[in-house]
Amino acid sequence: MEHLHIFTAGLTAVILFIFGLQNFSKEVETLAGEKFRKTLAKATNIPIVGLLIGAVVTAIIQSSSATSVIAIGLVNAGVLSFKNSIGIVFGSNIGTTVTAQLVAFKLTAFAPVLIVAGFFLSLLHSRYSIFGKSIFYFGFVFFSLNLISSSLQPLQNDPVLIGYLIQPQNPLYAILLGCIFTALVQSSSVTTGLAIIFTQQGLMGVENAIPLIMGANIGTSATALIAIFNMDIAAKKTALSHLLFNIGGVLVFLPLFLLFGDHVNRLGTSPAIVLANFHMAFNVLTGLLFIMFINPFARFIDLLLGQGKMDFERLVIPVVEREDSYENTKDAMDRNIVPLLGFLQENYSLVTLSIESNYRNVFDASSKRIDYLNFIHGEYLGYFSSVLTTVTDERESREMLKTITLYDYLFQIHDSIEDLFSTKRVIDKQYIELGSDLILIVRKISSQTLELFDEINKALQENVRPNLSSRVRDLREEMDDANRDLLKLLANSEREDAGILSNFVTFSRRLSDKLVNFATLAVSEELAREQVP
């Protein structure tokens, strides 16, 4: 009965630890927002920089799984290259060693202070109150570790259990156990923290704990592998590199541990500190070793999965270099307008196809492209601030503002397409099935809207004034007819699909207006440029 009580108390404390760790990670990600993701995206071509970024970010959010999943997402979005992501993945393991060090040196005693400080800070009506929850959960993580330690303390009097855990066991079994447990709890920090507490309590020998935390490194790759479904080949390569890196680290250092395991006690003054220092040394040395051979490692991943192709071509992410002149910057902006409009047209085509059909792959492709363009929008907002620094006189200022306005219209078009996609989300969420008559309405409106896109694209590429009046008139007549048909159907309570499609028509009208406004401004911009001597 006593052992059952200890098991229940220990399990409860472990659950609280996992809960605290997950929420702390979420709070820090929420605080950082887009800046957090952009920090990862700024990893340069120097692999060691990616390693340091991965280590620092993971040390802050206390989750190597979160860091690797975000890196995979950025690769999937085309923001980060596969090769640059490898350094971040390598560094993520190093960042997890912070938790082990804090536990080993018993700095968790400050946990109650952090919990109280975080709680009261979150209650204040101040700009600093946003940090309250993060501080609270950070303290909660280590408070739960203290609970684990105290709940397991009675086991120190159990000679049978101590004898079993202290006795050297097969390291392969310990690696497998660490791998499986970490995959289940989705955090290597949990496994490492428990191993260190066991050694502090005298319940486990260092010889058994070291293979356990080696296995934890492999288990933490499970989250990344789960995240790659429906992603590009480059993202799958990043996830595979995470797994092979962790397995490779174990294969390299396990023989060394078996040969020189008797000397690990030189790493610290107590078993817990020895384990924490080994954990840090293992991850740092593994990261540095693989960084040295990053090129052959990347080629090996390419050999396994092939070069592959992205599911859609990524747009050029604009950057203003210090030496760029106004003319170079303006030319670059003008060149990027047509590809961006073409990308929007493809997005619209996929979104309307997803409304017409129930194909999951079309819906997923639409969602991914819209998310990607939201990212591009954010990049352009920062870019616009930079391009204004290249302006030198009033004429250039007027030209640049007109070009920025063109981009503003393009992103307004994107907003309307996203509104249309929200119609599809509602259809799926409420399990609404469109009738064949409404599918026909969607098809007619989308067909004419795509023709409007084509006309504008053609005019921009050929530098001619588009003849939109007849197309716009036909499209608006089609939408007016659709609204009249929908009004009749709205009187029928059984046709819940009619109400949803009325939103589609409204959003389609807004989209067509924005397309016309964009085309009008784009043409006047071209004519003005031709008149400049």
Summarize pLDDT for 372-405 with one digit per residue, the tens: 888 888 888 888 888 888 888 888 888 889 899 9
Choose among 487, 380, 492: nearest CA to 441: 487
- pLDDT at residue 299, rounded to an integer: 86
Cα 178 to Cα 90, 99, 173, 253, 261, distances in angstroms: 19, 17, 9, 16, 19
Query: Given its phi and psi angles, is residue 204 left (phi above 0), alpha (psi -120 to 50 degrees) or beta?
Result: beta
| Measured distance CA(517)–CA(509) in Å, rounded | 13
3-state secondary structure at position 207: helix
Torsions phi, psi for 58 (to 5 deg): -65, -40
**Domains along the chain?**
2-305 (no CATH), 326-531 (1.20.58.220)
For the chain, which ranges sit under pLDDT 50? Answer: 527-533
**Residues in CB range of 363: below 8 A, 6 or more apart:** 354, 424, 428
* Interval 270-309: pLDDT, tens: 778 888 888 888 888 998 898 888 889 988 888 887 765 5
- What whole-number distance in Å separates Cα of residue 489 and Cα of residue 481? 13
pLDDT for 202: 75
Contact by Cβ (8 Å): 253, 282? yes
pLDDT computed for residue 68 by the predictor:
74
- CA–CA separation, 241 and 304 (whole Å): 11
Q: How many residues does the chain have?
A: 533
From CA 528, how far away is CA 398, in angstroms rounded? 12
Model-wide pTM > 0.75: no
Task: Report the alpha-carbon distance of residue 231 to residue 203 in Å, rounded.
Answer: 44
Q: What is the distance between the alpha carbons of residues 456 and 505, in angstroms, rounded to a whole number?
A: 21
410 touches 344 (CB < 8 A): yes
User: So what's the pLDDT on residue 384?
Assistant: 87
Q: What is the pLDDT of residue 533?
A: 38
As a whole number of angstroms, the distance between CA 249 and CA 245 comes to: 6
Query: CA 398, CA 155: separation in Å to the nearest integer?
Result: 77
